[in-house]
Amino acid sequence: MIRLYMDMKNTQLYICFTNFAPGGKLRKIGGRFVSAKGAGHGFGLMRVEQIVARLGGYISLNSEDGAFTAEILLPQ
């Protein structure tokens, strides 16, 4: 199951994306989450981080048992 929530927080667009899946926390290597899909995967988050940075926003990524969450704030 995937949950997407969007709202305006003052002058910023708030986006929260949660991907619920069985399993434990995702691993991090060098401060980045590693894709469980194997080699050749896992470039999507890097691209999202680049876009958020270019727009002057903020991104927070969190993994816990059974869920991965990305929270994004973008100035309007």
For 25-68, what is each residue's pLDDT tens digit?
Answer: 666 666 666 666 666 656 788 899 999 999 999 999 888 888 88
Which among 57, 63, 62, 59 is positioned nearest to 46, based on CA atoms?
A: 59
Tokens standing for residue 55? 């727009």
Position 6, amino acid: M
CATH of domain 2-75: 3.30.565.10
Count of CA atoms in the C-beta half-sphere (13 A) of 5: 9
For 4-17, what is each residue's pLDDT tens digit?
Answer: 999 999 999 999 99
Domains of the chain: which residue ranges? 2-75
Q: Which residue has the higher pLDDT, 1 or 28?
A: 1
- By DSSP bridging, strand 58-64 and strand 2-9 are unpaired
Neighbours of 14 (CB within 10 A): 15
**Considering the entire predicted model, what is its pTM?**
0.79
Tokens standing for residue 34? 């590693």
